[in-house]
A and B are shown apart, each in its own frame.
Chain A
Amino acid sequence: MSEKRKQEIQRIKELESINLAREDIRDLVIETKKQVEKDNDSLAEQINDELNKKGIKSIDIVGAIGSGKTALLEKIAEKLSKKYRILVICGDITTRVDADRIEKHNVETIQINTGRECALNAYHIYQIIKNKDLNNYDLIFVENVGNLICPSDFKLGTDKRITIVSITEGEWVIEKHPMLFKMSDVAVINKTDLLERLGTNIDKMANDAKNFNPKIKVIMTSAKEGKNIDKLIEALEL
């Protein structure tokens, strides 16, 4: 292997950790890392432009596994499938369980199985919208892989982002995940039907979200009982 190639490999390896980078190239490593992040962001901007040009509204839904992302989407689809032509993109490590559930409510779905990746990125979404006739849709939802950490690293080019937590995750869940709430437009606190049994302090949860992001709209829902779904739809301006 040539010396130049070895150096290149060393540089790319160091990209994985700025802390491990040699002093003389740390600035280069940081700059390259920034450029990589920029690539996702500029692709996300391009996606948003294309969707806007076609008059398509788009919403990205993020939340932990089991917080109720799919259940809420089912309820939203039930209410909106006559008003809008909806496409739902579902991200999961594997299986088509979520897409199958949502499809029952008369909306088109596309499943992305990310394999070992913990979040969707702009390139996944770009590959879909590039290959679809966008004239067939008015509204696109993206249900991200169940995770409250990684999705904050990747913008997807949607107009709005909802972050969903459920009261079963404990009242500290929002406090512990500031990034996502800072970049979300709506915070949903789900499973309020279990409130009496669990006694979770939901006012604290709502305040935490507002503290991180004063502009965020906080909606308490019970997807199971269909409670406050209309409020959520209103908050999304749909």
Chain B
Amino acid sequence: MVSKMEEILKEIEKVINNLELNSQSQIKELLNNFLKTHLNRSKIDNFIGDYPTFIEPVYLEENVKIGDDVLLGPNVFIGKNSEIEDYVEISNSIIYSDAKIGENIKLDNCIIGKNSLLNCANINIDNCVVIGDVKNKEDLHKIMFKFK
């Protein structure tokens, strides 16, 4: 049976895969609604890593890898097989499955698409959707979709 949470995640995925200029307010509302209403409990019992810091609620699907000195939460969902490298801080965000967030990145209010790769250290990213590969700041500015 598909849970309400999975249902909403699929709905958001559909919207971020068909972004239009006027999608901004819709995404903002969907993300807010998901984080405040559907992400109402933590699930952090099944990750691969040493000792990250969690501020509730944080929901990790199976096989999520987490590096050192990572701060997750509040309001974070991370899909299965995703990897969070060292010194990352994430709050108010959805990371879909099989994504990789490279070292020293700070995310707030973001949605990172399935299979995406964020690999440009020392950057703060907020209020945006990122789908695809980011290997430097130029890539990021090309592909990110700001919604605020």
Contact = CB atoms under 8 A, between A and B. Distances in A.
Interface of A: 93-94, 96, 99, 110-117, 124, 127-128, 131
B42 A127 contact: no
Contact of B44 (A110, A113, A117): A113
B46 to A, nearest CB: 13
Interface in B51-82: 51-56, 73-75
B11 interface: no
A116 B51 CA distance: 6
Contacts of A93: 51
Contacts, number: 38
B97 interface: no
Contact of A110 (B52, B74, B91): B74
A148 B6 CA distance: 43
A112 B51 CA distance: 12
Contact of A128 (B53, B54, B55): B55
B10 to A, nearest CB: 25
Contacts of A99: 56
A96 B50 contact: no
Contacts of A127: 55, 73-74, 91
A123 to B, nearest CB: 8
A116 B50 contact: yes
Contact of A113 (B53, B74, B91, B92): B53
Contacts of A96: 42
Given A110-B74, A111-B56, A131 B91 contact: yes
Nearest to B52: A115
A131 B92 contact: yes
Q: SS class of chain B's interface: helix, strand, loop or mixed? A: loop
Contacts of B56: 99, 110-112
A128 B42 contact: no
Nearest to A94: B51
B129 to A, nearest CB: 20
A113 B53 CA distance: 5
A59 to B, nearest CB: 19
Contacts of A111: 42, 54, 56
A111 B51 CA distance: 15
A116 B44 CA distance: 16
A96 B42 CA distance: 10
A187 B73 CA distance: 32
Nearest to B57: A110
Q: Which of B50, B51, B55, B74 has the most CB of A within 10 A?
A: B55
A110 B56 CA distance: 6
A111 B74 CA distance: 10
B75 A115 contact: no
Contacts of B50: 115-116
B55 A112 contact: yes
A99 B92 CA distance: 21
A117 B52 CA distance: 9
